[in-house]
Chains A and B, each alone.
Chain A
């Protein structure tokens, strides 16, 4: 059953899961999960523009375009929030939908040009995990490696910036630079991922494993490691399940695996799980009742 191609896809999806799990935790803790969603949508015009300029389907060039527009989108969101009375939800919504709209306009223009028809740029919207080739995997593992190494290098600094910005500034850390690196790495993760699982489901890979890990742990190290593991597990499991039957698209199955993990944790986790919480509520109710009885 494990044919050569399936093995590539399996490795790619797991690596992607690890990378997005790592980065997703940082985005989650900064309350910027949906900014990742916006950046994923904003990658689309970048891909189309770089295709229009270079007339090539070289992955590095397309990725470069995507990285540029996605980074611009993150800073635009920040700019709108800082310079107007609009709140973050509106700012994210504006940037997300307008960039995506512009991306679709550019895609239709690309599809008109003679070379564009076979370019398969539409793949970027829904992903094409199942047809990942060896060459795609080289890129994927390269950027996953960069992402993982950067996370290890800046772990302590990012932790400080996220939890206590004022203190970080006080001891002289370059907070803005560190934030920029985090944004750039987030964008790199997203851009790497969208060709595999598509624009919309990429946001799921950023958000769901991190949210699942948060249920299990209060410690940053544990949370990040768990999040990466959950991501890898969903990637691998989703790929395997979708290979069982033709017609099952890989992207959605990966996401559904991740959400099943989330739902399981949400109900059964110790400490924060739903069952434990219900039990605690009952205990409190009982105690209160007892006190009332004793008082009367």
Chain B
């Protein structure tokens, strides 16, 4: 039963992150997600210091606010002339340092130790359950389902708008779409996803689940719908595969999930249709044959 819940949690992480990741990759904001996954720590610590509780809702709120602040600060620095990579770097390292410092100062002996935040411990998920409407499921599963639902609702509600503002922001602006609102709403979603996943796979490895499956799907698809479906599937596959590899080697589950996602990416990168190394080689051979014949 425990194994079942770990697998469910992992798959949900894969699906939720895969969904959000698609738009991160398409909007070229992968590194902002990395930044948010670090600053979420700051938000959670602040929420803990203010409320003195480890309640999931306060954590979500703190993390959401921290995510929006990160996106906003990066935007401000950038619009005042600092280049993008440096703005991201300055903002997230600073907030992360403040977060680590606050933990050591105020929350040293709580469950909030830094290593847990960074690496998560998915194996402990099944023991922390929560009952709602006669249904007892691990807390992490509830949280992930909730975030997945928000993600899906947001996508269904704003699919056209998001798509347009992703692929043709200038046109989107000219027909009066609220680009700023969409940007920050999306950033909030990314932070929510990060918090929901951080309890099980840790803040740093959320980045892997957000970016790697979506990038793999990007290499394999030419339409956004196909990319979304593939990204969610690959995310799930990485989570489940990662769990069994980790069990086999008796190693960190979260780390193995990231590594599996990386392995899938590598395979796809090498053997993908049209552009993969194998295909390129075959094309070269074909071309050689042609030139020899003519």
Contact = CB atoms under 8 A, between A and B. Distances in A.
Partners in one complex: yes
Interface of A: 28, 31-34, 37, 41, 80, 83-87, 89-90, 92-94, 96-109, 112, 122, 125-126, 200-201, 203-204, 206-208, 210-211, 214-215, 247-249, 251-253, 255-256, 259, 262, 266, 272, 274, 277
Contact of A31 (B83, B118, B219, B261): B83
Contacts of B208: 97-98, 100-101
Contacts of B257: 101
Interface stretch (B6-14, B96-104, B133-141, B171-179): B96-104
Nearest to A41: B204
Interface of B: 25, 28-31, 33-34, 38, 77, 80-83, 85-86, 88-90, 93-94, 96-98, 100-101, 104-105, 108, 114-115, 118-119, 204-205, 207-208, 210-212, 215, 218-219, 246, 249-252, 254-259, 261-262, 265, 269, 275
Q: Is the interface of A mostly helix, strand, loop or mixed?
A: helix
Contact of B119 (A104, A210, A274): A104
Given A105-B255, A274-B80, A90 B100 contact: no
Nearest to B29: A89
A100 B210 CA distance: 14
Nearest to B114: A126
B93 A255 contact: yes
Nearest to B83: A31
Contacts of B90: 204, 207-208, 211, 259, 262
A259 B207 CA distance: 24
A90 B114 contact: no
Contact of B246 (A84, A105, A251, A272): A105
Nearest to B204: A100
A169 B112 CA distance: 53
Contact of A105 (B28, B118, B251): B251
Contact of A86 (B98, B118, B215, B252): B215
Given A86-B215, A101-B257, A274-B80, 20 more contacts: A80-B269, A83-B269, A85-B218, A86-B25, A90-B211, A90-B215, A93-B210, A98-B259, A100-B205, A101-B258, A104-B119, A108-B250, A126-B114, A207-B86, A208-B89, A208-B94, A248-B104, A252-B98, A252-B104, A256-B94
Contacts of B210: 93
Contacts of A204: 89-90, 93-94, 96-97
Contacts, number: 189
B31 A210 contact: no
Nearest to B108: A247
A92 B252 contact: no
A37 to B, nearest CB: 7
Contacts of B93: 200-201, 203-204, 207-208, 255, 259
A113 to B, nearest CB: 11
A248 B250 CA distance: 35
B198 to A, nearest CB: 14
A251 B97 contact: yes
Contacts of B88: 34
Nearest to A76: B266
B86 A210 contact: yes
Contacts of B246: 105
Contacts of A259: 90, 93-94, 97
